[in-house]
Amino acid sequence: MIPSTKDGVTIRLMTEEDYGIVKPFVKDNFFGSEPMCASSGEEVHLQNEKENDAYHLCMIAQDTCLVALDEKNGGRLVGVVLAGCQVPQDLEKNRIDAEAMEANFWGRASIFISQIEREANVFERFGISRVLYSHITSADTSMRGKGLGSRLAATLMEVGRSKGFPAMVAYCTSFFSARQKEALGMQCIHSVAYADYKDAQGRAMFTPDAPHTTVRVLAIKL
């Protein structure tokens, strides 16, 4: 049930009013540690900023996003999930949007992820017409290793079930996020090694540090 409190941390649905603290939280706790972003050498949080804000607010309006608040520390924000509905038409829309982006990190990464989501095609694979897409899950650095990320992902599954989503999908660029979601019963339905995605000169386009060697598509029927 939502909201839920455990060990002094409450998880509830994110509201539009929360975005003022969610955005800097994602900058500080996600972009600096997500393997592709962290290895890019670019200020990723400043790229496609307007479009990303609009996308995040659209997901928040669906009541499919979460915040985790530390009640023992004045309700401090310690975790977030940004997630929303995807439909089959989004696969082609995302491809077109990605190819129209600047040739910066965000544009290159968007083309890569778009290719992966079309190869995985969770809609065709599961015979469904919509899916709950887990876009960003992030915990405060002080809370990592304490099970908060797993709790956020499990709560998102509850949200998906309550809204009648037949499945949930996540594109895990981190070894640890994939391992966490697999422990919750999500299955890898497609994967691509970073070393195999190369530019025209045959060089790997993304080179995160080990153990982050592969992008894994994790999915679960709800």
pLDDT tens digits along 22-48: 999 999 888 888 887 788 777 777 677
Per-chain mean pLDDT for the chain:
93
Compute the distance between CA of residue 15 and CA of residue 210 in angstroms, rounded to an integer: 36
So what's the pLDDT on residue 101?
A: 85
Q: Do the Cβ atoms of 77 and 69 come closer than 8 Å? A: yes
So what's the pLDDT on residue 43?
A: 77
Of 81 and 107, the one with more pLDDT:
81
So what's the pLDDT on residue 158?
A: 97
Q: What is the mean pLDDT of residues 204-214?
A: 91
So what's the pLDDT on residue 115?
A: 96
pLDDT band at 1 (very low <50, low <70, confident <90, very high): low
Which of 164, 160, 213, 212 lies closest to 184 in space, CA to CA? 160
Tell whether the model's pLDDT for residue 135 goes beyond 90.
yes
Domain spanning 4-221: CATH superfamily: Gcn5-related N-acetyltransferase (GNAT) (3.40.630.30)
DSSP states of 121-140 as a string?
-HHHHHT-S-EEEEEEEEE-
Tell whether the model's pLDDT for residue 151 goes beyond 80.
yes
Which segment, 33-42, 136-145, 149-158, 191-200, is predicted with the most confidence on average? 149-158
So what's the pLDDT on residue 144?
A: 79
Q: Which residues have C-beta within 8 Å of that of residue 62, sequence separation ≥ 6? A: 84, 85
Domain residue limits, the chain: 4-221
Strand order in the sheet with 9-13: 4-6, 9-13, 66-70, 76-86, 131-139, 167-172, 214-221, 187-193
Tell whether the model's pLDDT for residue 155 goes beyond 70.
yes
* DSSP 8-class letter at 198: B
Q: Do the Cβ atoms of 29 and 185 come closer than 8 Å? A: no
Task: Centre a 10 Å sphere on the Cβ of residue 145 and count the other Cβ atoms it contains.
Answer: 10
For residue 115, the SS3 value is helix
